Structure 1
Amino acid sequence: MQVLRAGLLSAHLIGGGLREIAFDGIEVLRAIAFVVRDRDWGTYSPAIADLTIKQGEGETTVSYRAVCEGPDANTLSIRAVITLSSKGSLTFKAQAETPTGFENNRCGFCVLHPIVGVAGAPVTVEHVDGSIQYAVFPDRIEPWQPFQEIRALTHSVMPGIDAECRMEGDMFEMEDQRNWSDASYKTYVRPLALPWPYQIATGETVSQAVTLTVTDRRAGRPQAGSHDARPVHLTWGEDLRPLPQIGLVVTPEEAGAVRSALASHGAFGAKGLLLHFDPAAGHGPSDIEAFAALAALFSGTITLEIALPCKGPLAGELGAIAKLVADAGLRLDAVMVSPAVDRQSTPPGSQWPDCPPLEEVYAAARAAFPGIRLGGGMLSYFTEINRKRVPAGPLDFVSHATNPIVHAADDLSVMQTLEALPFIWTSLRAIYGQKPYRVGPSTLAMRQNPYGSRTMDNPNGERTAMANRDPRHNGLFGAAFAAGSAAAFVGAGLEQLTLSALTGPFGLFAGPQEPVPEGMVRPIGRCIELLACMAGWQARAVKSGSSRDILAFGASCDDGRRALVLVNVTRSPLEVDLQALGIGSGASIVLLDETTMIAAASNGLEARSMSEQPFALMPYAVARIVWEVA
């Protein structure tokens, strides 16, 4: 990463794109990048060559070239020039050419506006025909594009500072990336209603430019952009609904390992198992029998998640699964049923796939599994349940998953997705009211790709979008992300939050053929223990002022115990001031950080007396403080 500056304008240059574009320390845009994506919506990460950075009088200029290597030895060459001016303007120009022809789903600029402080705020949209639209950035998450045929977007960054973002070279449109838990509104090319994948012809040049112009109308010398004071001061917020039980997902491929793990390690305090069953993937009687064997070792709730083929009579398909369950003696508390076809996204302009009416699917499921709770929704992400609203009347609960690496997989982008989770649950509550609600699996790695034919293999353990394995799951980052997810969903009133598996690449401890020692408890395992023991406790919001570096929530138990959970979602140490919370004397703390991680893997988390105020929270650390109220 390199920091670029010109006057009050700054940006971080990362991998050929710009991040954290700010004026006087205030974030204006989250990112500008020239993006090339393959037929499965995987993002190319070309190496940067011939990088030149020139700092002149009042101006900084960057130039580079990059080459995308596609299938069948096809290549795409990109030349880019970035200019920052002390007068408050930034221009990013790119030209892409191919000597071979190049298939892609997207080739062009993506511009990200942040969501915090922007959602619900006014925006002026200039369209390609010159017309002007006065609108607002959506507050509730829009299922479809809020704005199309865009030439420029202008919004107020803060009182006295306006920013115009002008995009040229193609027809741009915006999508609400909070659908995928990205913390941004994305303006991109080309329109999704056009066919994809598409071919860039041999010798064709794709030329585009993005120009940001900041107008500063503040009187006098402005104060420096606000940076959160240190330490971070925490205060109590409103009382919330009880904390959810923590769940673990189990696939047929891991059922045998999970049974052994339950016998030797237990469930790390998790109170629910989510058993995945997909007949179209070859799952059958032996898998249900394996589920029954492991369920016999588990005292919590059991939910069977069914990806229903919907290729024949619904009563026949669901009846056959119900018979397998009965024959195996599999104890079930709930079934979650979704047509298998709904796992795939239906983008704007695409034809909806054939699928029986969901009312008929749910009626058949109720008949096949009488007397147990019935869930519906999507096995994929909020995007799909937002675009295809399921009929909630026949259901006992609604559910969807989340994943933070759909579009980007760098550390900053992943942790920023936590900003979007409150928008997701408030948007879902706006649709479904107080219907019981579950979320998960919500893991760093992607278990399925609704936008292509496959998830991406990641044998080298890189930060890769849509990857089916993620190296950060093995470390503190994975634990911090899980705890941050729990904090972000604390106001949602979830009944279950599934954050991991027990074994395998999504697991709480490492099995064979994993990149860490077999049997080692990952930090996320200790984090799940920390969270799971508070299921049913009354939650309470915790405020951290303008800081987004600390996520926190409180909880109280009927026996007089109180708890505070803190997570540092940054790579920097932070000081936290708890004095306004009135934590009682005799408080104890369990801390999962770089100093305790190794011991915790073998011996668990140890409580110690809480004394220092304020105290330091190390990068990606998770802490739980417990005290008693007389």
Structure 2
Amino acid sequence: MSFQPLTDDQPEPSASVQARLAPPVRVLSAGPWTARLVGDELAHISFAGRPVLRAVKAVVRDQDWRTPQPSVRSVEIKQDDNGLHTRWTVVFAGYGVDYDAVLSAVFTPATVEISFEGTAAHGFRSNRIGLVVLHPPADAGKDITVEHPDGGSTASQFPLDVSPHQPLMDIAALEWADAGTAFRLSFTGDVFETEDQRNWTDASFKTYSTPLSRPFPVDIAAGDTVRQSVLLEAATLEPQEAVEAAAVAAAGDAGGPRVVTAHIGGESGRVPALAVVAGPQPGLLPAIPGLDAIVVELVEESGGAGQSESAGSGSDRSGWAAQLDAAAAAAAAVHGAGLDIRAVTADPAGAVAELAPYLAEAKRLAVFHPASHVTEPDSWQEFKASVRAAGFGGSLLAGTRAHFTELNRDSSRTPSDADALTFSITPQMHSTEAAHIIDSVPMQRLAALNALQLAGGRPVHVGPVTLLPRFNAVATSGDDAEAEADELQDQPFTAAWMLASISALTLDGVASVSYFEASGPRGISDVDGRLNPAGELLKQLAALRDSVVLSVEAGQADADAVTLYPVQSPEGLVIFAGNLSGAAVAVDVRLPDGAGAGDGDTALGRLDLGPWSAGVVRFPAADFPAPS
């Protein structure tokens, strides 16, 4: 098969991009335990080959919940008769924070103890400092016992559906069992609690220090020190020799060639409608036939000079007309698309005058309050009546401009008569590592499925989906900093991640998905109108809107990094492929029996995917006609 990259002009990754995609990894092994020191976090902690914890790491959050970038300065690893001892130093710097930390991990046959000691180099305001434990999403539904600081205990469970609030509180220790092994995780230095990070599409439940019920932010003085530790204990009925043998066998299974066999099956969905955010210069985006809409985010500023007369004394909507003019011109003249207007205003009904001239071109309209970032029910009915009276005949959306978290927590307040629901996605609310961005993809599907449950039969419009947050939904300082751009934006990695995201969100009921901005450092094209790999992917998939997507089954455990998205169109079979790993992968592609090949041969051939790559393979309709 001839695999074609999405763009001929692939950008050369910078040194920082290469370091981001392939951070230093140190494999640690001691008796039945294995783990990986990936950058600053102790990741993938396993016992006898069974995953136990996704990661343990230290975090420092500023007063707006932003995470200063951690930088590992030194690593020491020593092994003796008493076990394996690892020590690493980390400096957290950024957002006015300069913080030094020393972490250590000691492995013995029955325990792993991770300790943290951090000291502030100068004063700042912080919402959290200390250790966090990330539990794998596979723990959903698992029974667990919570031991409390007062000596009591509570029987509980990791939730199956995404929990809007903390499922485990007031934690001194956690106990659970898995495949004949009992585990105990105890904490010192603070009281801990657990939140469901799947709300933010993180692939984890997170147990963290300093309960949210305590006031924040707090003042940190130069020299202030935090000390914490977590102790993971394992007790098994199996002989120790058998446990260690299982660990060695599991470690050995990780090697070998990466060959994936993928079986393409029947219809599993339809290519969703795809949209893009206007951004500052939507006119730079080249034509994308089949594009559903251009999303225009209109944020009402606090009152001041230059505000429109109809905006009222407390708000400024004077820039809305220019944004709408630019987006409407690009949508209609260049793409043949509509507008998807998202207005952020404290006075939705009062904003209708600014929106009225553009409502005829709008497919969808949503309103959110600038403080809560959700559709507030107390102004909804007046807004709905006003906008319908102004002639809007499209779909009225309710929900949140922020994460699924806000939709989940405010579901009881979401207007029940909205035509559809909406929420946005960013994979870097808590972690910026490439591995966490990749792991967010199946959580996107879970969040969308939960949103469809909340919608009760109404469609869901997902997005904008962006690599970094468009705004800080949880800032406490009130500062409205400009959205940051990710250096990965124009890389093939982002196209491969976007393909995986589209595949995850190809669900019955997900009516549209919007991605990134039209142009610029957060966009799908550059200032000269050249599409980057993610832009070319969006262009090719937009042209296949509502075409049949075929199912894919890949049996290998290491197939998670590979995305195949087969689309059956009138022109033939189109297979989009992406590899979200730093190693080349060979994919043997097979069709169902009797499909596409003579003499009973169902093999399409071998598809060779390079590291961090995305591309497409096309087969003509003469060989693979669309089903009648």
Q: TM-score range by the shorter chain?
A: 0.7 to 0.9
Going from structure 1 to structure 2, the CA distance change for 1:579 and 1:75 (only over 3 Å counts) comes to closer
Counterparts of 2:372 and 2:338, CA distance in 1:
23
Letter in 1 for 2:29: R
More divergent stretch after superposition (524-533 vs 420-429) = 524-533
Of 340, 353, 358 in structure 2, the residue corresponding to residue 325 of structure 1 is: 358
2:560 alignment partner, SS class: coil
Residue 572 of structure 1 deviates from its aligned partner by 1.4
Inter-partner Cα distance in structure 1 for 2:417 and 2:171: 41
Q: Work out whether residues 9 and 84 of structure 1, in 8 Å CA contact, stay in contact via their aligned partners in 2.
A: yes
Distance 2:384 2:594 in 1: 48
Task: Quote the residue 1:377 is aligned against.
Answer: 399
Larger mean Cα displacement after TM superposition, 213-222 or 164-173:
213-222
Given that 1:577 and 1:613 are in contact with CA atoms closer than 8 Å, whether structure 2 keeps it comes out as yes
**1:132–1:228: structure 2 CA closer, same or farther, 3 Å change rule?**
farther
1:568, distance to aligned residue in structure 2 (A): 1.7
User: Deviation at 1:498?
Assistant: 1.0
Match 1:538 to one of 522, 526, 548 = 548
Contact 1:359 1:394 (8 Å CA) reproduced: no
3-state SS, counterpart of residue 605 of structure 2: coil
**Letter aligned with residue 103 of structure 1:** R
Q: Secondary structure at the match of 2:400?
A: strand
Residue identity matched to 2:363: D
Residue by residue, what CA displacement relative to the aligned partner does 1:555-598 show, whole Å, maximum 9, x if unpaired? Answer: 434x48444433222221122222354595589xxxxxxxxxxx
RMSD across aligned positions (CA): 3.0
Partner of 1:629: 625
Q: Post-superposition shift, 1:455?
A: 7.5
Following TM superposition, by how much is the alpha carbon of 1:58 offset from its aligned partner in structure 2, in angstroms? 5.3
Q: Which range moves more in the overlay, 22-31 or 574-583?
A: 574-583
Which residue in 2 is equivalent to 1:567? 578
Q: Does the alignment pair 1:614 with 2:568?
A: no
Q: Which residue of 1 aligns with 2:513?
A: 497
> Structure 1 residues 99, 332: closer, same or farther in 2, change over 3 A?
closer
The 5-angstrom pairing of residues 128-143 of structure 1 reads 128-143=149-164
How far did 1:36 drift? 0.8
* Structure 2 residue aligned with 1:7: 31
Which residue is 1:189 aligned to?
209
- Contact in 2 for aligned 1:242/1:493 (Cα 8 Å): no
How far is the alpha carbon of 1:236 from its aligned partner? Answer: 4.7
The corresponding residue for 1:82 is 105
Q: Quick check: 1:430 aligned with 2:453? A: yes
Aligned length: 567
* Residue correspondence of structure 1 range 267-306 to structure 2 within 5 A: 267=288, 269-280=290-301, 282-306=318-342
Superposition TM-score, scaled by structure 2 size: 0.82
Structure 1 residue corresponding to 2:473, chosen from 417, 427, 450: 450
| Correspondent of 1:527 among 534, 537, 541 | 537
Distance across 2 between alignment mates of 1:17 and 1:456: 28
TM-superposed deviation, 1:411: 0.9
8 A contact 1:292–1:331 mirrored in 2: yes
Report the residue type matching 2:502 in the other structure: A
| Shift of residue 354, structure 1, vs aligned partner | 8.7
* TM, length-normalised to structure 1: 0.82
Superimposed CA distance per residue, residues 25-82 of structure 1 (whole angstroms, 9 cap, x where no aligned partner): 432211101111111111123443453221223522122444445777x754423222
Q: Specify the code of the residue in structure 2 equivalent to 1:310.
A: A
Q: Which has the higher contact order (CA 8 A, sep 6+)?
A: 2
Match of 1:475 in 2: 491
Residues in 1 aligned to 2:323 and 2:274: alpha-carbon distance in whole angstroms: 23
Question: 273-282 or 227-236, which moves further after superposition?
Answer: 227-236
Retained in 2: the 8 A contact 1:446–1:469? no
8 Å contact 1:10–1:21 — kept in the other structure? Answer: yes
Q: Show CA shifts across 1:89-116 (max 9, x none).
A: 211111223475442111111100111x
**In the aligned structure 2, how far is the partner of 1:243 from the partner of 1:472?**
25
Greater displacement, 394-403 / 523-532: 523-532
3-state SS of paired residue (1:187): strand
CA deviation after TM superposition for structure 1 residue 138, in Å: 0.9
The residue that corresponds to 1:152 in the other structure is 173
On the 8 A contact 1:303/1:336 being kept in 2, the answer is no
Cα distance in 2 for partners of 1:407, 1:450 equals: 13
Distance 1:332 1:519, change over 3 A: closer
Any conservation in 1 of the 2:27–2:37 contact (CA below 8 Å)? yes
Counterpart code for 1:406: M
3-state SS in 2 of match to 1:341: coil
Return the alpha-carbon distance in structure 2 between the equivalents of residues 58 and 175 of structure 1: 35
Go from structure 1 to structure 2 and tell me whether the alpha carbon gap of 1:416 and 1:46 turns closer, same or farther (over 3 Å shift).
Answer: closer
The answer to whether the 8 A contact 1:101-1:200 is kept is yes
Summarize the Cα distance change of 1:67–1:26 in structure 2 as closer, same or farther, 3 Å threshold.
Answer: same
Q: Return the alpha-carbon distance in structure 2 between the equivalents of residues 310 and 135 of structure 1.
A: 40
Query: Using the alignment, how far apart are the partners of 2:95 and 2:293 within structure 1?
Result: 43
For the residues of structure 2 that align with 1:367 and 1:382, how far apart are their CA atoms?
31
Matches of 2:469 and 2:593, distance apart in 1:
41
CA contact (8 A) 2:166 2:194 kept: yes
> 1:375 Cα deviation (Å)?
1.5
Instruction: Name the amino acid aligned to 1:393.
Output: S
Matches of 1:569 and 1:299 in 2, distance apart? 30
Deviation at 1:612, TM superposition (A): 7.0
1:241 and 1:574 mapped to 2: Cα distance?
26
Shift of residue 360, structure 1, vs aligned partner? 4.1
> Does structure 1 residue 316 correspond to structure 2 residue 350?
yes
Corresponding position of 2:6: none
Read off the aligned partner of 2:295 and give its amino acid letter. L
Preserved CA contact (<8 Å) 1:234 1:581: no
Distance in 1 separating the partners of 2:424 and 2:338: 17
For the Cα contact (< 8 Å) 1:237–1:541, is it kept in 2?
yes
Aligned 1:130-279 pairs, distance under 5 A: 130-157=151-178, 159-201=179-221, 204-218=224-238, 220=242, 221-222=245-246, 224-225=249-250, 227=254, 230-236=258-264, 239-251=267-279, 253-254=280-281, 258-261=282-285, 265-267=286-288, 269-279=290-300
Q: Say yes or no: does 1:17 pair with 2:41.
A: yes
Match of 1:334 in 2: 364
CA contact (8 A) 1:362 1:395 kept: no
| Aligned-pair CA distance for 1:369 | 4.3
For residue 129 of structure 1, report the CA deviation from its aligned partner.
2.2
1:75-114 correspondence to structure 2 within 5 Å: 75-85=98-108, 87-98=109-120, 100-114=122-136
Please name the residue that 2:57 is paired with: 33
Partners of 1:67 and 1:551 lie apart in 2 by 36
